Amino acid sequence: MFEVVAVHIASSINIRQCKSQLPLEIVFSDSDELYLKNGEKKFVYIFQYGLVSFFNHSEEEKDKILDALSKITKEYNIPQLTETIQVEIIEGRQQVAFDKVILPSFDSEFIRLVMLNTSQSVALDRYSEITQQLLEETNGHTQYLENKGKLNISGVRLKRFIGKVMNIKNQISENLYIFDEPDSTWENEQLDKLNMELKRTFDLKIRYRNIYERIGIIKENLELFKDIWDHRESSKLEWVIIILILVEVLDLFVFRLWR
């Protein structure tokens, strides 16, 4: 029995620097991912959005790799979000259960798919936490609006909040490819079936949609806040113009009286 463990360690990881920091055999590499072999029947999968997945590693081996990665990440977090799934190799049999995957052979591509989907699950947990916090903050402003009839957020803070939400949305779109199929599954029916079963077991598509729906609610509220703020600023400008006109009229009136 083997074990896949995926952990979130940072907001981003530089893949190019990982290659020099971890002198391991490269199985696959591009700008976003690095799939490494770490000796006999051991694999490490690194994603640029801050996820690292281990296959068949002891705690000491994982700590050693995480310590090496901590030197190149922008910030290193003690792994809080993790996901673990057991992997068993039974020749000619393929099955995905809630806490275990049975693979028909010890193949690096089969293992890679398990590590990929496990990592995507942890990434979804992370973005779910972030969007939940954003939603709670948004609800605080809507509650204040309901009770006081006005917003308790400045224009600068509102713009920064909107920017934060849009950045999160862009990160999710860029880093999570829940609806895309890995290239390895295009010509291999077994891999394609395994990928679909893993996505279904981890509820990846449903959780992805839930996050996007949450972002949609936040975005809708922020657009309303922006409209209210723009209206308030417009009203202020109108009053400034009115006051300036009144001052000009009074000045003209006083000037004529003086003459």
Contact (Cβ atoms closer than 8 angstroms) between residue 86 and residue 100: yes
pLDDT in tens, 121-166: 999 999 999 999 999 999 998 898 888 887 887 878 888 888 889 8
Q: Which domain CATH number covers 171?
A: 1.20.58
- What three-state secondary structure class fits 242? helix
Read out DSSP for 181-192? PPGGGSS-HHHH
Residue 258 pLDDT level (bands cut at 50, 70, 90)? low
**Residues 125 and 163 both lie in one domain:** yes
Measured at the alpha carbon of residue 208, what is the angle toward residues 205 and 214, in degrees to the nearest 5?
140
CA nearest to 53, candidates 119, 103, 107: 119
Q: What pLDDT is recorded for position 259?
A: 60
Model pLDDT, residue 76 = 58
Is residue 111 included in any domain, yes or no? Answer: no
* 24, 36 Cβ separation under 8 angstroms: yes
Report the number of distinct structural domains present in the chain: 2
Model pLDDT for residues 82-117, shown as the tens digit of each residue = 999 999 999 989 999 888 999 999 999 999 999 999
State which of 105, 135, 163 marks the end of a domain: 105
pLDDT at 71: 85
The predicted model gives 30-47 an average pLDDT of: 93
Q: How far is 168 from 161, CA to CA, in rounded Å?
A: 11
Q: 54 and 15 in one domain?
A: yes
The separation between the first and the last C-alpha atoms of the chain, rounded to the nearest angstrom, is 103
Q: What is the pTM of this model?
A: 0.84
- 220-255 pLDDT per residue, tens: 998 888 888 766 655 565 666 767 667 776 666 766
Indicate whether 181 belongs to any domain: yes
Task: State the Cα–Cα distance between residues 161 and 227, nearest whole angstrom.
Answer: 15
Judge if 149 and 215 occupy the same domain: yes
Mean pLDDT of 45-62: 94
DSSP H helical ranges for the chain: 15-21, 59-70, 108-148, 155-175, 189-201, 204-258
Percent of the chain with pLDDT over 90: 51
Same domain, yes or no: 128 and 78:
no
Domain span holding position 176: 119-234
The answer to whether position 246 is within a domain reads no
pLDDT at 156: 82
**Do 152 and 126 share a structural domain?**
yes
Cα dist. 157→54, 222, 227, 236 in Å?
40, 11, 15, 19
Confidence of residue 72 (pLDDT cuts 50, 70, 90): confident
**Pairing mode, strands 82-89 and 51-55:** unpaired
Q: What is the pLDDT of residue 77?
A: 60
Sequence length of the chain is 259
The DSSP letter of residue 24 is -
Summarize pLDDT for 114-128 with one digit per residue, the tens: 999 999 999 999 999
Tell me what the pLDDT averaged over the chain comes to: 86
The whole-number average pLDDT for the span 30-41 is 92
